[in-house]
Amino acid sequence: MATMQDVARLAQVSVSTVSYVLTGARPISQATRDKVLAAMAELDYQPNAMARGLASRRSRILGLLLPMDERGLGATETAFVTGAAAAASVAGYHLVLSPIGVGDLDELRRLASQRMLDGALLMEVQLHDPRVDVLRELGLPLVLIGRTADTTDLSYVDIDFDQTVEEAVGHLVALGHRRIVYVNHSAGTIAEGYGPATRTRDAFTIAMTGHGLEPLMIPAEDSAAGGRTALATALRQAPDLTAIIAMNENAVFGLLGELGGRGLSVPDDVSVVSMVTSPQVAELATPALTAMNSPGSALGRIAIETLLRHVDNANGEIHQQLLPCALQVRGSSGPPRTGSNTAGNTGADGDEPTVPSTEAARRRAATRRRA
Amino acid sequence: MATMQDVARLAQVSVSTVSYVLTGARPISQATRDKVLAAMAELDYQPNAMARGLASRRSRILGLLLPMDERGLGATETAFVTGAAAAASVAGYHLVLSPIGVGDLDELRRLASQRMLDGALLMEVQLHDPRVDVLRELGLPLVLIGRTADTTDLSYVDIDFDQTVEEAVGHLVALGHRRIVYVNHSAGTIAEGYGPATRTRDAFTIAMTGHGLEPLMIPAEDSAAGGRTALATALRQAPDLTAIIAMNENAVFGLLGELGGRGLSVPDDVSVVSMVTSPQVAELATPALTAMNSPGSALGRIAIETLLRHVDNANGEIHQQLLPCALQVRGSSGPPRTGSNTAGNTGADGDEPTVPSTEAARRRAATRRRA
DNA sequence: CGGGCTTGTCGAAGCGCTTCGACTAAGCGG
DNA sequence: CCGCTTAGTCGAAGCGCTTCGACAAGCCCG
C-alpha cells in the first residue's frame, strides 16, 4: 500500500505538494501536477481514508439512518437510497446506510460522536423524533426525509401530501366518483402522529369538502389482514362507495383480495388509487394499480445536495422542500358503474341506487361468469 | 469534544494507560481503571474513530455490499441485514451498508483500498462475481451470502436450496399432488448462472424424479406480468397441473392474479407454494401463501461471526454453511381436487380428466358464485 | 526600479490514537 | 538474599495525512 511519502519521493516533490494536488487547496503548476499524477498512477496510490479523516476532521462519509422494520425496504425507499448514493458519489462522498431505528439511540450517539459521519440523512422521521434531538445536540449536519412537528431550523425534503391527495381525489372525481373512501395507516400510527398519516388525512378532508363531498377515512393495520378488515368496515359505513384511495401499501393487497372475494370487480365496481407507490409495486396487483408515483430518486438527490451544502458551510441556510407524487393511471381506476361521467362540482350526493352496490355487484359478477 | 489527553490529565495517568483501559491490550490495576473510567464518564469522552483507525489500522467497520436494483429489499434481505447489524454491534463493530452493485467495481475498489473496511459481506453473489476478485486481490476479509461457482478458499453462508426444494415438493406430494410445475426466475437469469435459479432447478428435477414424477420448469420474468405469462405457459404445457412451486417472489403475485382471472381457485384448483419468502410477503397474498420461510436473520448473524473470525486472525479457516428454509403451511396449499389424498410413489400420471382443469374450474367457479 | 502582489513550493507541526520498549515494584523459588 | 518473572505504568515514536507559515520567484504599477 503506497503512501503519500512514496508518491512524493517518486515525483521528487514534498508531501505537502502531493496533498495539494489531491485536495486542490493551493495552486499547483501544471508541470508539477503531471509529475505527481504520474507517480500516483505508477504506484497505484490510494489515499488512506483514516489518515485523511484524522488530519482534516472530515470523513467524507454521510450516513443514511434508516430504521429497518420487518417490512423491508419498498421500491420507494430503494429509489430514494440509490438516488442519494449516486448524488453522494458524484460529490466524492460515500453514503453508508445504517439500520438505526428510533430505538437505538445509544448506537446512534456512538456513531455520531465518534466523528465518523460528516452529516446524516434521517428517514422515516417521526413527528417527535428523538434522533433529531441527539444529532442536533452533537452538532451534526442533518437533513430530514419527512418532517418533525416543529421544523424550525431544520432542513427537510418530503412528499407534498396535500397536493398528492388533491390530485388523487381530483382524478376520481373527474371520473365521476362521488363516494370515495380513504384507507389510511392504522389508528395507532395516526394517534402517535405519524406525519404521512395525519397529513394525508387532513388533506383528504380538505379535498373532499372542496368538491362538496363527504370525507370518510378508515384506518387499517399495515398488513393484508388489515386491508381486508378495512374493506369490510368501509362497505359497512359506506355501502355505496365506488372508489378507494389507499395510503397503505401493505393493506392495499388485502383490500384487493377481499374485493375479489366479495365478487366486486376493480375498477368496474370499485376504483382503487394507491398513494405513494412505486411502479414496481403497482404492477404487482391485478389489475395494475393506478397510483401516485413517489419521487424517490429525486428526493434522495435533493436531500444529499442540501446536506452537503450544510457540511461545507456550517452556517448554510436551511432548505425545506416538498415534492408531489405524480399520478399514473393504470388499470385499477375507471368511471363508476352508476355514476355520471362528468366532474360536476355541485355537491349533491345520494341521489342514486337504494340497493347497496355490494349486492348489485355480486349479481352482476355472477352474470358475467355465466356467459 | 474531549480527547484522550483530557481524560489522562483528569485521571492523573498517562495517555497510554487510558488507551490500555480502553483496549485491554495490557493489564491495568483495578484502582487505575476506575479512576480512568470515572474521568471518561465525567468528560463524556468518546474515542475518535479516525484516530483509532489510523493508529491501529483497524476501522472496526464492516461493509455489507448489497446491490440495490429497482425491486428494493424484500423482507428476507431486511431480516438478513438486521441480523447482521445486531451481531456486528454486539462485537463492537459497525455494519455499514453500501449500495454497490456488480457494476460499480471502481467504487468498490475505492472503498476497499482506502482501508475503511475491516471486512465485507457480499450479498446477491453471482456465480462469477467480479467483486469477489477485486476484494480478494485487495486482501480484504470476505464472506459471501450465496456462492460463486468456485468456492475454494472462500467462506460463505447460503440457503440450502436442495433441502428446501425437496421439502416443498415433499409437502405437495404428501398432499396428493402428482403434476407439479416449478416457476423459476427468468430464462436470462438462469442462463447467466444465477445460483438460486440453477440450484433450485436441479434440485427440483431430482426431487420430482425421486418421487417418480415428471419435472416441468417454467421460467418467468421477475414481474407480475412475467407471472401471468408463466401461468399461461404452464397451463398449456401441463393442463392437468394441480400445484405450482414458485421461486419468483414478484411473479407469484401475477400468477395468483391470473389464476383468479381464469376462475381457478387457490388452493382448490391449484396449490401454490412460494420459495424463500418471508412471512410478511406471504401474508400479502389472498389466500396467504404456503411458503418456505427464509432464515434471513440467522444467516446474517452467522455471516458476521464468520467474517469477524477472519478479521481477527487473518489465517482463519474458511467456513461454509447452508441453512434450509422452513416450510410454513398457509392457505395456498391443500389436497388436489381430483387426486387421491395419499402420497403414493407409484409414478403413474395422466389417468384422469380429459376435460382441461381450466374449463372444469371455470364452470365450478361460476356455480359457486351463483349460490 | 522598488514595494506589494500573486503563484508555487517546502518543511514542520499537528490530528488523536495505538503500541513498543523501558522502567519500577512486587512476588518467588532456590 | 539474589536473580527472574510478572503486573502495572510511562514516554515517545509513529499511523498517513492536512494545513499553516515561510519563502523564493515573477509580475504589475506608479
Q: What is the pLDDT of residues B83-99, one digit of tens each?
A: 898 899 888 898 988 88
CB hemisphere CA count around A225 (13 angstroms)? 5
A183 DSSP β-pair partners: A218, A246
Predicted pLDDT at B338: 64
Which tens digit of pLDDT belongs to each residue from B107-125?
Answer: 888 888 888 999 999 988 8
**Grid cell listed for A32:** 508539477
The least confident of A88-102, A109-123, A176-190, B13-27 is A88-102
CA atoms of B55 and B4, how far apart (whole Å): 14
If you average pLDDT over every residue of chain B, what do you get?
A: 85
Which tens digit of pLDDT belongs to each residue from B122-145?
Answer: 988 888 888 898 898 888 999 999
**Grid cell listed for A38:** 504520474
Q: What's phi and psi for A177, nearest 5 deg? A: -75, 140
Predicted pLDDT at A219: 94
Predicted pLDDT at A289: 92
Residues 6+ apart with CB under 8 A from B91: B304, B308
pLDDT at A360 over 50: no
Q: Which of residues 281-340 of B touch strand C (CB under 7 A)?
A: none
Distance from CA of B282 to the nearest CA of A (A): 10
Instruction: Decide the pairing of beta strands A243-246 and A180-184.
Output: parallel
Nucleotide with minimal C1' distance from the CA of B53 is C17
Query: Residue A185 in contact with residue A248, Cβ under 8 Å?
Result: yes
From chain B, the residues in CB contact with A76 under 8 A are: 72
Distance from CA of B211 to the nearest CA of A (A): 34
Closest C-alpha to A329, from A167, A125, A143:
A167
pLDDT at B166 over 50: yes
Domains detected in chain A: 4-47 (1.10.260.40), 61-159+296-324 (3.40.50.2300), 161-293+327-370 (3.40.50.2300)
The answer to whether the C-beta of B20 is closer than 7 A to strand C is yes
How far are the Cα atoms of B118, B133, B171, B199, B214 from residue B266, in angstroms, in the given order?
Answer: 49, 46, 16, 27, 22
Question: Amino acid identity, residue B131?
Answer: R
| Residue among B116, B223, B280 minimizing CB distance to A283 | B223
Predicted pLDDT at A76: 79
pLDDT at A45 over 80: yes
Q: Which nucleotides of C are covered by protein (CB under 7 A)?
A: 7-12, 14-21
Closest C-alpha to A253, from A283, A295, A293, A296:
A283
CA atoms of B327 and B199, how far apart (whole Å): 18
Question: Amino acid identity, residue A138?
Answer: L
Predicted pLDDT at B361: 47
Query: Residue B183 in contact with residue B227, Cβ under 8 Å?
Result: yes
pLDDT at A71 over 90: no
Query: What is the band of A17 on the pLDDT scale with cuts at 50, 70, 90?
Result: very high
Q: What is the CA radius of gyration of chain B?
A: 27
pLDDT at B76 over 70: yes
CA atoms of B84 and B300, how far apart (whole Å): 4
Rounded, the Å distance between the CA of A14 and C1' of D23 is 15
Alpha helices, DSSP H only, in B47-141?
Answer: 49-56, 75-90, 105-113, 130-137
Closest C-alpha to A126, from A156, A98, A91:
A156
Highest mean pLDDT, choosing among A110-124, A222-236, B159-173, B325-339: B159-173
CA atoms of B203 and B220, how far apart (whole Å): 18
Percent of chain B predicted with pLDDT > 90:
52
| Residue B116 per-residue DSSP state | -
CA atoms of B198 and B192, how far apart (whole Å): 9
3-state secondary structure of B97: strand
Residues 6+ apart with CB under 8 A from B70: A75, A78, A79, A278, A280
pLDDT at B62 over 90: yes
Which tens digit of pLDDT belongs to each residue from A136-162?
Answer: 888 899 999 988 888 888 999 999 999
Is pLDDT larger for residue B173 or for residue B194? B173
Query: What is the band of A315 on the pLDDT scale with cuts at 50, 70, 90?
Result: low
Nucleotide with minimal C1' distance from the CA of A6 is D16
Mutate one of A69, A73, A138 to test the B interface: name it (highest B CB count within 10 A). Answer: A73
CB contact under 8 A, B72 and A78: yes
3-state secondary structure of B276: strand
Nearest-Cα residue of chain A relative to residue B49:
A114
Is pLDDT larger for residue A342 or for residue A45? A45
pLDDT at B279 over 90: no
Q: What's phi and psi for B119, nearest 5 deg? A: -175, 170
Which tens digit of pLDDT belongs to each residue from B328-358?
Answer: 999 899 898 864 433 333 333 433 333 344 4
Predicted pLDDT at B108: 85
CA atoms of A192 and A246, how far apart (whole Å): 19
CA atoms of B213 and B179, how far apart (whole Å): 7
Cell 495552486 locates to A27
Q: Which of residues 29-88 of A touch strand C (CB under 7 A)?
A: 29, 31-33, 51, 54-55, 57
Alpha-carbon dihedral sign for residues A68, A74, A76, A82:
positive
Helix B75-90 and helix B296-312, axial crossing angle in degrees, nearest 10: 40
Nearest-Cα residue of chain B relative to residue A108:
B94
The least confident of B102-106, B166-170, B207-211 is B102-106
Predicted pLDDT at A16: 94
Predicted pLDDT at A72: 67
Predicted pLDDT at A189: 87
| Residue among A72, A111, A254 minimizing CB distance to B78 | A72
Which tens digit of pLDDT belongs to each residue from A241-270?
Answer: 999 999 988 788 888 888 888 888 888 999
How far are the Cα atoms of A178, A236, A242, B78, B298 from residue A356, in angstroms, in the given order?
Answer: 15, 10, 11, 43, 51
Instruction: Decide the pairing of beta strands A326-328 and A290-293.
Output: antiparallel
A64 DSSP β-pair partners: A97, A121
pLDDT at B227 over 80: yes
Query: Residue A182 in contact with residue A197, Cβ under 8 Å?
Result: no
